[in-house]
Amino acid sequence: MTTFITNFLEVFYVLIGLIMLFAGIESFRDQENPARIGTGLFWVILAVIFAGAKFLPYLVIGILILILGLLSLFKQIKPGNIKGIDEKVAEKSAQRLGGWIFMPSVVLAILSIVIAQFTPLGGQIGIGISSVVALITAAVMTHANANTTYHDSERMVRSMGTAGILPQLLAMLGAVFTASGVGELTAKAISGVFPVGNHLLGVALYCIAMAVFTMIMGNGFAAFAVITAGIGIPFVVAQGGAPVVVAALGMTSGYCGTLMTPMAANFNSLPVALMEMKDNLGVIKQQAPVATVLLVIQIGLMYVLAF
């Protein structure tokens, strides 16, 4: 079954590669983008990695990743000129479909849980199958054709841009940290000044560290990879804490930090600019009291649920 699932997943990675290839082709064709070559290359390289991982040596993929890094470092990846959607078509279709337009999303969410829970295929295959079923549902309902679906796909991928691949790169970084023994080292360093073995203190240390590092870095995902390896595992999981609770509540503890930092510009500074607010920290001021309360609750909740 495991081999079957691995092979089956490969089909979905090829599909992802295909979607990325669409984005690459359209980026190359975007004459108005001064960085069209770099942007096109970025997506095509990713398409090759996703679809061809089975046939490429890891060494080659490693080199390709370095190239992605160089493209990004030298500002050669830009969203460019992405064609928006036709508001009139959208308005007309919204009139016709009403609330049914949400149907494909409901299909996706429910079907993926059903497949994960009631079949031996597991959650990842579940997401793959239900994404395809949801797309077909959407296409049938909206009478979408292949041409517009192609453009809808490339538009979504290109507008997401490099932010879309960041979670996977952070997961890669986490794996490199593990292979280099960084987790053990931070654990050793911290255990010198912090008592290991006290459940509540361990949980508090982990949750607060998630929040603080997210505040500094402005990105909860990045903090998760680093802090879970360095603190979450040795101070909570290794003491008997349930990994799933540690992960779920650790990430949301990080979000408390996101709500309190000007580093998370997309969430806290963007509204200030959009609405021409006078107080630059206005959004953060409204969020800080709730975020603080939530952090305390999460420490308690993790302590209760994990042990």
Partner 1 sequence: MEYLKLIGIVIIILGFALKFDTIAVVIISAVATALVAGISVPDLLTLLGKSFVENRVVSLFFLTLPMIGVIERHGLKQAAVNAIKKLKNLTPGRILNLYLLIREVACAFGITLSGQVQFVRPLISPMVQAAAGARGKLTPKQIDLIKARSAATDNFGNFYAQNLFVASGGVLLMASTMKSLGHAVEPTSIVLYSIPMAVITFIITAIYNMRFDRQFNVKRNKKQED
Show contacts with partner 1 in window 245-274 (CB under 8 A): 245, 247-249, 251-252, 255, 258-259, 263, 267-268, 270-272, 274
Minimum CB separation of residue 28 from partner 1 in Å reads: 19
Q: From residue 105 to residue 134, what is the string marking binding to partner 1 with x (rule CB under 8 A)?
A: xx-xx--xx--xx----xxx-xxx-xxx-x
Cβ nearer to partner 1, comparing 113 with 196: 113
Alpha helices in the chain (DSSP H): 2-29, 36-52, 58-73, 87-97, 103-118, 122-142, 146-160, 166-180, 182-191, 199-217, 220-227, 243-258, 265-268, 270-274, 282-306
> Does 201 interact with partner 1 (rule: CB under 8 A)?
no
> Does 235 interact with partner 1 (rule: CB under 8 A)?
no
> Does 50 interact with partner 1 (rule: CB under 8 A)?
yes
Residue type, 9: L
Cβ nearer to partner 1, comparing 176 with 200: 176
Q: Look up residue 45 and give its two tokens.
A: 């390289």
Residue 19 in 3-state DSSP? helix
> Does 5 interact with partner 1 (rule: CB under 8 A)?
no
Minimum CB separation of residue 249 from partner 1 in Å reads: 7
Of positions 34, 119, 172, 200, contacts partner 1 by CB under 8 A? 172
DSSP assignment of 133-200, as one string? HHHHHHHHHHT--HHHHHHHHHHHHHHHGGGGTHHHHHHHHHHHHHHHTHHHHHHHHHHTTS-SS-HH
Are 126 and 112 in contact, with CB atoms under 8 Å apart? yes
Of positions 37, 89, 200, 296, contacts partner 1 by CB under 8 A? 89
Minimum CB separation of residue 119 from partner 1 in Å reads: 12
